[in-house]
């Protein structure tokens, strides 16, 4: 169902139509007097940078500008009328617009009138509630277990590779192989190392377990993309085991020698401290996601579809993927919707709590960015404004403050989550 209202003001008439839950269309009609005023303003704006014969820059009379630059004057007048009409329409109808207006059509009529249709998104109405004292499950991490896991990674990183006779699960196969399609060799590789696990499928996987140095094997395989007409067809891979290696983890004393440190115990303490810091970060991320989940449950509202589409494109671009499958594409769309709703909810809470970003907080952010990039703070500030990122930075800092406020008021319930141990992305060489 749509709703139309008419608003009259000096030299224009505005009609508003509800074209959707969060979209409004304004039909704006300016009379000939209003158009003439816009033409004068456009000419005066343009003449500032125009040089006409016989006149100094910016001194040519407006009537000559209208005559010599009629097309430019008309285009600027159209812009001025559309923008002024849009702003007046929002003010008169008490609408808080989102983003830039979309000018659907505009034209100068023979009777001297100017008519345009402008569509705009409006901010959804959100009354924040239930965000004080949200109950959150506090994840319990096995810090000692994680530290041991990092130590094992370190031992494996420095592990000795010892030759052995028969390839077993977890051993390394050093192989030569070539791939052929109808006797044509498509690819060949020498001295390639593969860690072989029972969970790995052929052609280079569990089928190699039990072989020894000097053994050869051939397997049928589908030719991958990148091999022209042969791609997607069946071919043969010929594999020769050149040697079998077993990884033998070093003792703490041997690692100390490799790292050229006197006491590996001190490095263990560093690892322990690193894990605790990592746990603190992961714990906060986990709690923040719980907060957003709970806020989404508490607040039902629609968001502009084009905002979700823009966020989807932004997220997808960040992944730097040329193509995504249907399942991943759906997940990206769901993430985009979540991000947009998250922003609206936090803004609503921030308005309720009157959260502001201080100059000190902005300066602190600029200093951090300057230190990271090794440039001056003035340079960072100039780049942010040049790239029109200043408002984005302010919004990001504000939403961070709002989220921290909600977290500070939350009620934490102890809950063991052993699975969280597996969620850590621990580097193969924790010592760098």
Q: Say if residue 20 is in the same domain as residue 64.
A: yes
Cα angle at 431 between 429 and 432, to 5 degrees? 70
Which range, 95-104, 322-331, 404-413, is most confident?
A: 404-413
pLDDT at 69: 85
Distances (CA, A) of 330 to 144, 255, 312, 327: 38, 46, 10, 5
d(CA 43, CA 56) in angstroms, rounded, equals 16
Cα angle at 426 between 425 and 428, to 5 degrees? 125
Q: Say if residue 410 is in the same domain as residue 286.
A: yes
Query: Would you say 5 and 15 are in contact if contact means Cβ atoms under 8 Å apart?
Result: yes
Which range, 62-66, 155-159, 236-240, is most confident?
A: 236-240
State the pLDDT confidence band at 113, using cuts at 50, 70 and 90: very high
- Residue 284 within a domain: yes
Q: Say if residue 394 is in the same domain as residue 304.
A: yes
Q: Say if residue 296 is in the same domain as residue 240.
A: no
pLDDT at 10 over 80: no
- Residue 54 within a domain: yes
Beginning with the edge strand found earlier in the chain, give each strand of the sheet holding 12-20 in spatial order: 4-9, 12-20, 23-30, 114-122, 97-108
Q: Under 8 Å CB-to-CB from 370, ≥6 apart: which residues?
A: 376, 377, 379, 380
**CATH number of domain containing 234:** 3.10.50.30
**CATH number of domain containing 324:** 1.10.3120.10
Per DSSP bridges, beta strands 216-222 and 184-195 are unpaired
With the C-alpha atoms ordered 86, 91, 93, 96, is the resulting torsion angle positive or negative?
Answer: positive
Give pLDDT tens digits for 177-204.
999 998 889 989 999 999 999 999 999 9
**Domain end residue (candidates: 248, 282, 304):** 248
Give pLDDT tens digits for 35-45.
999 999 988 88
Least confident among 105-109, 167-171, 304-308: 304-308
Nearest to 34 by CA among 102, 80, 71: 80
Give pLDDT tens digits for 320-361.
776 778 888 899 999 999 999 999 999 999 999 999 999 999
pLDDT at 76 over 50: yes
Q: Under 8 Å CB-to-CB from 79, ≥6 apart: which residues?
A: none
Nearest to 287 by CA among 136, 143, 151: 136
Query: Would you say 166 and 186 are in contact if contact means Cβ atoms under 8 Å apart?
Result: no
d(CA 397, CA 407) in angstroms, rounded, equals 15
Joined together, the tokens standing for residue 360 give: 């000190």
Q: Say if residue 288 is in the same domain as residue 364.
A: yes
Q: Say if residue 239 is in the same domain as residue 294.
A: no
Q: Say if residue 238 is in the same domain as residue 275.
A: no
pLDDT at 431: 39
Q: Say if residue 289 is in the same domain as residue 366.
A: yes
pLDDT at 422: 41
**Domain end residue (candidates: 193, 214, 248):** 248
- Residue 128 within a domain: no
Range of the domain at 82: 4-122
State the pLDDT confidence band at 61, using cuts at 50, 70 and 90: confident
**CATH number of domain containing 30:** 3.30.70.1050
pLDDT at 172: 94
Cis ω for the linkage preceding 203 (within 30 of 0)? yes
Joined together, the tokens standing for residue 69 give: 């630059």
Residue 422 has what DSSP assignment? G
φ, ψ dihedrals at 415, nearest 5°: -150, 130
Strand partners, 240: 176, 216
- Residue 142 within a domain: no
Give pLDDT tens digits for 212-251.
999 999 999 998 888 888 888 999 999 999 999 998 887 7
pLDDT > 90 in the chain, percent: 48
Q: Say if residue 287 is in the same domain as residue 378.
A: yes
What's the chain's average pLDDT?
85
State the pLDDT confidence band at 106, using cuts at 50, 70 and 90: very high
d(CA 120, CA 99) in angstroms, rounded, equals 8
Q: Say if residue 114 is in the same domain as residue 169.
A: no
List, in sequence order, the alpha helices (H) in 48-97. 62-68, 70-92
pLDDT at 3 over 70: no
- Residue 143 within a domain: no
pLDDT at 1: 44
Average pLDDT, integer, range 150-167: 84
Q: Say if residue 412 is in the same domain as residue 341.
A: yes
pLDDT at 166 over 70: yes
pLDDT at 20: 87
Average pLDDT, integer, range 93-101: 85
User: Which residue's entry shows tokens 């990001």?
Assistant: 396
- Residue 258 within a domain: no
Query: Would you say 35 and 80 are in contact if contact means Cβ atoms under 8 Å apart?
Result: no
- Residue 259 within a domain: no
- Residue 137 within a domain: no
State the pLDDT confidence band at 429, using cuts at 50, 70 and 90: very low
140 or 358: whose pLDDT is higher?
A: 358
pLDDT at 263: 59
Q: Say if residue 184 is in the same domain as residue 323.
A: no
d(CA 72, CA 75) in angstroms, rounded, equals 5
pLDDT at 299 over 90: yes
State the pLDDT confidence band at 432, using cuts at 50, 70 and 90: very low
State the pLDDT confidence band at 415, using cuts at 50, 70 and 90: low
What's the number of domains the chain is made of?
Answer: 3
**Left (φ > 0), alpha (ψ -120 to 50) or beta: where does 168 sit?**
beta
């Amino acid at each position: 169902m749509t709703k139309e209202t008419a608003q009259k003001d000096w030299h224009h008439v505005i009609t508003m139509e509800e074209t959707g839950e969060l979209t409004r269309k304004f039909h704006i009609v300016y009379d000939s007097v209003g158009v003439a005023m816009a033409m004068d303003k456009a000419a005066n704006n343009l003449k500032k940078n125009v040089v006409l014969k016989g006149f100094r820059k910016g001194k040519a009379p407006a009537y000559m500008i209208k005559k010599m630059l009629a097309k430019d004057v008309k285009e600027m007048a159209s812009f001025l009328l559309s923008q002024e009409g849009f702003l007046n329409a929002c003010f008169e109808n008490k609408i808080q617009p989102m983003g830039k207006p979309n000018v659907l059509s505009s034209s100068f009529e023979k009777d001297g009138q100017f008519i345009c249709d402008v569509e705009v998104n409006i901010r959804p109405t959100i009354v924040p509630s239930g965000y004080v004292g949200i109950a959150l499950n506090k994840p319990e991490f096995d810090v000692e277990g994680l530290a041991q896991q990092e130590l094992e990674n370190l031992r494996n990183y420095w592990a000795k590779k010892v030759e052995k006779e028969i390839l077993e699960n977890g051993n390394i196969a050093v192989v030569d192989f070539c791939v052929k399609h109808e006797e044509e060799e498509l690819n060949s590789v020498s001295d390639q190392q593969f860690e072989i696990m029972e969970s790995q499928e052929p052609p280079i996987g569990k089928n190699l377990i039990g072989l020894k140095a000097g053994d050869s094997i051939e397997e049928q395989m589908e030719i991958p993309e990148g091999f022209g007409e042969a791609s997607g067809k069946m071919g043969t891979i010929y594999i020769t085991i050149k040697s079998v290696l077993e990884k033998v983890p070093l003792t703490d004393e041997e690692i100390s020698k490799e790292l050229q440190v006197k006491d590996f115990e001190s490095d263990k303490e560093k690892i322990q401290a690193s894990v605790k810091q990592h746990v603190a970060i992961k714990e906060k991320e986990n709690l923040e996601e719980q907060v957003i989940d709970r806020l989404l449950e508490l607040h039902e509202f629609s968001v502009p579809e084009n905002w979700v589409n823009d966020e989807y494109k932004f997220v997808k671009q960040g992944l730097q993927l040329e193509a995504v499958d249907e399942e991943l594409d759906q997940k990206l769309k769901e993430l985009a919707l979540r991000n947009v709703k998250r922003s609206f909810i936090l803004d609503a809470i921030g308005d309720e709590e009157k959260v502001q970003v201080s100059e000190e907080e902005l300066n602190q952010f600029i200093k951090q960015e300057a230190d990271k990039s090794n440039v001056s703070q003035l340079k960072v500030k100039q780049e942010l404004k040049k790239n029109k990122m200043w408002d984005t930075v302010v919004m990001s800092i504000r939403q961070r403050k709002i989220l921290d406020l909600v977290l500070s008021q939350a009620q934490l319930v102890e809950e063991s989550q052993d699975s969280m141990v597996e969620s850590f992305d621990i580097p193969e060489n924790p010592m760098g």
